[in-house]
Amino acid sequence: MPERTMFGLLIDYEYCTGCFTCQVACAQEYKRPKEQVGMQVIETITMKPNGKPYLAFLPFPTENCNLCAGRIGRGEEPSCVKHCMANVITHGPLEKLSKEMKKGRMVLWAPR
């Protein structure tokens, strides 16, 4: 039996602008309140080596993310990918996405 291709998301935190469009798109796609969406954006404040604060935004899929299975079935991208204004979320086969990972602030995610 051939091995099933696993799909996921590659998220590049380095360039996320914190627009929250991925979170809003997910909420609208599934008509859910923001607390129950499949994509959340967290704001973090870290200190740079020079002592100045740095605000970063971290989009991450939650346990409610199903990679927009209905959209994928119609040949469309997940809603978060389609609407990401900074183009930091990519959908595809995990094997391909893992080859696209670079050093820096990137994460590869796949649903269970």
Structure confidence at residue 1 (pLDDT): 53
- DSSP type of residue 14: G
- Asked if residue 59 lies in contact with residue 23, where contact means CB atoms within 8 angstroms, the answer is yes
Domains of the chain as residue ranges with CATH: 7-109 (3.30.70.20)
Which pLDDT does position 2 carry in this prediction? 59
Q: What is the mean pLDDT of residues 23-38?
A: 91
Question: Locate tokens 């859910």: which residue?
Answer: 32
Residue pLDDT, tens place only, 53-108: 999 999 999 999 999 999 999 999 999 999 999 999 999 999 999 998 887 789 99
For 13, half-sphere exposure in the C-beta direction (CA atoms, 13 angstrom radius) is 19
Taking residues 43-48, what's their average pLDDT? Answer: 90
- The mean pLDDT of the chain is 91
